[in-house]
Amino acid sequence: MSGDLPVFDRARRQVWPGLVDLHVHLDKGHILPRCPNPSADFEGALAAVRPDREVRWTDDDIRRRMDFALRCAYAHGTVALRTHLDTAQDDPERSWRALAPVRDAWAGRIAIEASALLPISHYGDIEYGRRIADMVARHGGVLGAVVYPDADADALLDRVFALAAERGLAVDMHVDETLDPSVDAVDRVLDALERTGFAGPVTLGHLCSLSSRPACEAERSMARIADLGVAVVSLPLCNLFLQDRVPGRSPRLRGVAPILELAAHGAAVSIASDNTRDPFHAYGDLDLIEVFRAAVRLGHLDLPVAPWPAAVTSTPAAVIGAGGGRIAVGATADLILFSARRFDELIARPQADRRIVRQGREIDAAAPDFSELDDLDDRA
C-alpha cells in the first residue's frame, strides 16, 4: 500500500465492496410530501404521479431531487446504479435532459445508467418507438418498457427487441408487478426473446406474480429465464409496500418474487431499492444495506446467507458493466467497513455506524437533511 494511504485495522469485522443498485427511480424520488397516495396502492400511485410530473417536474426540480438522492446513496456506500426514467408522451426527454448534467457531476463517485420507462403500448406508434430508441441511444441508455397483458404484446415486444438490436442497446423491463396469478407477461417476453433471437443483455424487474402462479407454471418460467440468460431484479421493499394492499385488512402475501427458486435455477438475481419517498413507496433512502437486511428476512435468504451479498454488489455490477461491486487485487478500493463481525450481527442492526471508503480514503458518510427539499413542497 502507498505510504500516504490510511491503514484500517478491522479486527475481523466485515468488509464489503461498494454497492450497486440495479433498479431505482431518481426522477420520482422525494415527491411524496407534495404528492401523497391516499390509497397507498399501485393505481393510486399512478394517479398521484401523473399531475405532479406534468406540472412540477422542471429541470431544476428533477435535478435537485436527483442530487439529493445520489448524496443519500453515496453516503450509504453505493458506487453504481441504474435509474428508470419516466419517458412520458407529453415530453419524453424531460427526465433525460435533467439527468445528463447530474450524471456528469457525479462521474467518479457514482456511475449512473438510465433506462426508459414507458408502457409497452406506446411502442404501437412505430415512429414514436423509433424516436424513443434513438433518444436512449444518444444518452447511452437502456431501452425499457412496462409489460402488462395486451392483445398486441407479441408484436410490441418484437418491436422493442428489434429497436434495441438495431442500436446495440440493452433492454430492461418492468414485468408482472402484480399478485394476480393469471398474469404471465414474463412468458410473453421470453417467447419474444426466442422468436427474435435478441442477443443483447436483458433484465426483468419485479416478477411478483411468479410467487402466486401455480408452482409448475412458475418453475417452467424460471427455468426459461435462467436458460435464456436473463437477469432478474427483486424489489422487496417497494413490492411489500404496494402488493396485497386492501383497505382495512392486513396483508396476507409478501409480494416478493421467488428469489430462492430463481437462484436455484441459475438465474442472476439482484436485489434493489426501487422507489424512494414517492407514491409508489413512501419510505426508503437508497440504502442497499437496508434493502439487503429486509430481503434476508422477507425472502428467507439466511440458509445460508453467505451467497447473497453478491445480489447487491457483484451480480448487478456485471449487469450494468460499470465495474465495482468486488474486492480484488488491482480493483479500486471502494469499500464499506462494518462493525458487524458476522452476518447475524449485520442483519440485527441498521449498521448506521458503517464507514465508507472511496478510492482508499474514508469519506464523510452523512446523508443530507430532508429539510433541504422543503421549498419544493407547496405545503412546507
Known catalytic residues? 177
- Determine the residue type at 286: L
Contact between 343 and 307 (Cβ < 8 Å): no
What is the rounded CA–CA span in Å between residue 50 and residue 55?
Answer: 9
Select from 284, 42, 26, 317 the least CA-distant residue to 176.
42
End-to-end distance of the chain based on CA atoms, in angstroms?
A: 50
Contact between 80 and 312 (Cβ < 8 Å): no
Contact between 322 and 314 (Cβ < 8 Å): no
The residue whose grid cell reads 398486441 is 152
What is the rounded CA–CA span in Å between residue 8 and residue 92?
Answer: 47
Q: Pairing state of beta strands 231-234 and 202-206?
A: parallel
Instruction: Give the cell for residue 144.
Output: 425499457
To 5 degrees, how large is the angle CA 126–CA 45–CA 217?
Answer: 70
What is the rounded CA–CA span in Å between residue 31 and residue 377?
Answer: 8
Contact between 296 and 56 (Cβ < 8 Å): no
SS (H, E, C) 216-243: HHHHHHHHHHHHCCCEEEECHHHHHHHC
> What are the strands of the beta sheet with 111-117, ordered from one edge?
19-24, 78-86, 111-117
Instruction: Give the cell for residue 93.
Output: 426527454
What is the rounded CA–CA span in Å between residue 323 and residue 331?
Answer: 9
Select from 196, 288, 198 the least CA-distant residue to 235.
288
Q: DSSP 3-state assignment of 165?
A: helix
Contact between 205 and 230 (Cβ < 8 Å): no
